[in-house]
A and B are shown apart, each in its own frame.
Chain A
Amino acid sequence: MNFPAELSYTQDHEWIRIEEDGTAVVGITDFAQQELGDIVFIDVTTVGESLGKGDVFGSVEAVKTVNDLFLPIEGEVLEINAEIEKSPELVNSDPYGRGWLIRVKPADASQTDDLLTADAYKELVGA
């Protein structure tokens, strides 16, 4: 399993990356996609909404299960990755790349400081 060092992670198995333009990209981890199995639908109904840290921003539906998606930081949900609406399997095959989920405008960019590092997350999932 792969956990890129440049990303920040949550205990709920999301990752987040602050981009150069100040927006943040959020997805689920390689561990999460492997545990869920084939992902068949990403349901995000919060585009345009401002949410708090830890709020549910959508759901990930695998063949057998539905799981909530939690926002790692406080901010506004700007967009969902249009590509995964058509091809949710990208979340399985490329969870840190083409399988990203949403773009967020952070309320405050320093919020990622208290998230997990790749090493800490790795330890959390026992990988």
Chain B
Amino acid sequence: MSLKQVPLHHVHQQSGAKIVPFAGFEMPVRYTSDLDEHNTVRNAVGIFDVSHMGEFILKGEGALELIQRVSANDASTLYDGKVQYSYLPNDQGGIVDDLLVYRISAVEYMLVVNASNIEKDWNWISRHNTGQVDMVNISDGMCLFAVQGPLAAKALESLTPAKLDSMGYYTFEKTDFAGAANVIVSATGYTGAGGFEIYVANEQAEGVWQAILEAGKPYGIKPIGLGARDTLRLEMGFNLYGNDITDETSPIEAGLGWVTKFTHDFIGADRFKQQKEQGVSRKLVGFEMIDRGIPRSHYALSDADGNVIGEVTSGTQSPTLGKGIGLGYVSTAFSKPGTDLFVNVRDRLLKAQVVKLPFVKK
């Protein structure tokens, strides 16, 4: 399969970014330094090009009904301008994808999905669309820039009439932005650092990108690669589809019970209700290294005697904490914060401890 490029590929290349394959795209993984980029977002403001993400518009009288059928959170609680985190369960007890649901109006919604799942999600939702909902895949026509960090609102405020400072978390506005019309400015993100996600049509994207860099200059804005995006999300304990949640993982095991709402009927609801009531045999937990070492995806987790009790799904050295952190599935008996675990790092058992998420408190 040939790799796709984001519309601003040439801009990232010119700025000297290291480009790697990710989710079927050639993506900037690092512009200068992962650690510097990470700290820039935690302490100031940075901008990510995450245009590989997918966007679907669902329009028509049956749009809400379709979303309610395919997603586990309760989209009927949304109002115009409100965003919701949710996931698409499959019919085998696993997860098709996790996503954001935007209510544009009572009869129009935007779904934002993971790049690697665009086609799978499209087919899955289409299969459950009984015909009356107009679905449009606008992924190829849209850029998505995440402007993240404590100084994001200040960095962007000169570019838009929207009141960024007072925008509620998980709300959005369609507004003018850096000379472009109908830009969606959304108070969302994947870093835990605060900030906004900007959805703009390809034709206006480069101008908007440059305007953001210019307006953010006094605040020290820098372009940030996917390397830092991963360490930032992991410090918050946010799931990554493909690592921590997959077609095979139960959302209840994954800790997605909070977005599994039995106030409506959806695919897999009965199974998940039962899991919630009866408990699950394994759980996704966060753990911090006590011994020196870095957990990585697929390393085995064991008890003190070396009996395997689970597996790491994501891991890194936390730039903020200066120690190894990870997510992994463990037998429920080992899932309580404070429990000791051992990570098999190159055939050595290194001590770690289950902790409450997020790893880095806001």
Could you tell me which A residues sit within 8 Å of B by CB distance? 37-38, 40-41, 43, 45, 59, 61-64, 66
Contact = CB atoms under 8 A, between A and B. Distances in A.
A45 B348 contact: yes
B294 A61 contact: yes
A63 B316 contact: yes
Contacts of A45: 346, 348
Contact of A38 (B35, B293, B294): B35
A63 B348 contact: no
Contact of B230 (A61, A62, A64): A64
Contact of A66 (B18, B30, B296): B296
Contacts of A64: 29, 34, 227, 230, 316
Interface residues on B, range: 20 to 34
A73 B188 CA distance: 53
B13 interface: no
Contact of A41 (B30, B230, B293): B293
B33 interface: yes
B239 interface: no
Contacts of B348: 45
Given A59-B346, A63-B231, A64-B34, A41 B294 contact: yes
16 contacts: A37-B18, A37-B34, A38-B34, A38-B36, A41-B294, A43-B293, A43-B345, A45-B348, A59-B346, A61-B294, A62-B34, A63-B34, A63-B35, A63-B231, A63-B319, A64-B29
B231 to A, nearest CB: 6
A63 B317 contact: yes
B57 to A, nearest CB: 34
Contacts of A63: 34-35, 38, 227, 231, 316-317, 319
Interface string B278-297: 00000000000000111010
Contacts of A37: 18, 30, 33-34, 227
A40 B231 CA distance: 13
B35 A43 contact: no
Interface string B22-37: 0000000110011110
Contacts of B18: 37
Contacts of B230: 64
Contacts of B38: 63
A41 B323 CA distance: 10
A55 B292 CA distance: 23
